[in-house]
Chains A and B, each alone.
Chain A
């Protein structure tokens, strides 16, 4: 009887410990921050989106990645930019289109000139059904839809990091960073495949389809 009580107590203690460990890790572990590369008074932020990360812990999750000053791709969605500075963003978009749930987000907002360059062509709005992802910072009024590559495109990327010879679209835009602060950003295409309303998994996890812009 005593051994049974001790066994049950130990099991409960272990389970409680695991829950606490999970909570501590959830609250304290975050992706590393990636600093924009500042040259000549302009900050450059280079990102890519890919349909499937291809590696643990979630190989089938869609994700963003960022390129560091050395040209290496880092799996993070926390980006640092200087305050009150023009930020030139380049996004290599390797995923196919899902379409926007809210077509309003097909409009480019908050960029210099109100436009973004899609494969070299400046545009202020795209077909909502062509959107694969968005790069949206609601508190800054910044939102850029990212058109997807054709679903039958050859040589599609299947694992991170994607490379320039794989099918992609290139989207560039510039925005003026605000004063110091932390601003959340996210994708507004319901691209979390297989989750409720497409907004679970990578859409609910920092480091995948949403993150922070740290302005300092």
Chain B
């Protein structure tokens, strides 16, 4: 009798298959949208070798998030719709039991994802030198191939101003940041007082400016452009004003500009201390 009753009940749909199908469709659509629609608008774009890699990483990670997020949201939506209890009657479902297959799959998939992302990030940071845009301290691990011939630019932060010193051009210091295109730059970032953070947005460079520290970051600009320079470390009253517009120029344009700076600041250059990795922290005659 019971077998007859069971046979007459409506067949339970294959929920797992339905969820998987919906998830696959949402994932495909989502990944395509992320890569081709949202992707081009995800910073920091292609202003430099380093920023290009950061851009690619951001797009890749966002695309990888889609299937994970889609699985969660599809499951929730499916459960809320299909498994919804209608009417006043509340009946306990069947007891939950372990499922070795699902648990093993879950562990393997998540482990592969995490370890894969770690490998991807590490290779990007070190193996290709694309992570060199971040400050790495005085002895950077991630160096571009032409690091030895990089143009040296010292970035000096103080409350509340950035200045830039070019040791290869007589140690001239300027309040403007100009670098040549298609040449590797070694930014040597330091501070005269508190901690600042040198952030050249379009170049994908962000390096802490720490008093008494030579924080090195490499970058190679890929096009002539304007760049926004900001302080990314809350540093006091005028922190929000500690910004300027820098420029990436052609090689010839940079040569003309730096020659002009050498003339313009010839007198004060003679009064500057010899170029050094840092100048911490003089003078302090009035400071307590």
Contact = CB atoms under 8 A, between A and B. Distances in A.
Contacts of B288: 193-196
Interface residues of A, number: 37
Contacts of B272: 103-104
B265 A198 contact: no
A101 B192 CA distance: 7
Nearest to B165: A104
B267 A197 contact: no
Contact of A193 (B267, B273, B286): B286
A10 B160 CA distance: 42
A99 interface: yes
**7 closest residue pairs by CB, A with B:** A198-B287, A107-B268, A194-B288, A197-B193, A99-B283, A104-B173, A204-B237
A125 interface: yes
A125 B284 contact: no
A28 interface: no
Interface string B67-90: 000000000000000000000000
B60 interface: no
Contact of B237 (A124, A197, A210): A210
Interface of A: 98-104, 106-107, 109, 124-125, 127-129, 136, 138-139, 141, 184, 186, 188, 190-199, 203-206, 210
Interface in B134-180: 156, 158-161, 163, 173, 175
Contact of A203 (B173, B192, B237, B265): B237
Contact of A195 (B192, B265, B282, B287): B287
Nearest to B237: A204
A190 B283 contact: yes
B14 interface: no
Contacts of B268: 103-104, 106-107, 125
Contacts of A99: 283, 285
B42 interface: no
B190 to A, nearest CB: 11
B237 A205 contact: yes
Contacts of B238: 184, 186, 210
Nearest to B271: A103
A190 B244 CA distance: 22
B46 to A, nearest CB: 29
Contacts of A109: 175
22 contacts: A98-B285, A101-B192, A101-B281, A101-B283, A102-B192, A103-B272, A104-B265, A106-B268, A124-B267, A138-B161, A138-B241, A139-B241, A184-B238, A188-B158, A192-B287, A193-B286, A193-B288, A196-B287, A197-B281, A197-B287, A203-B159, A210-B238
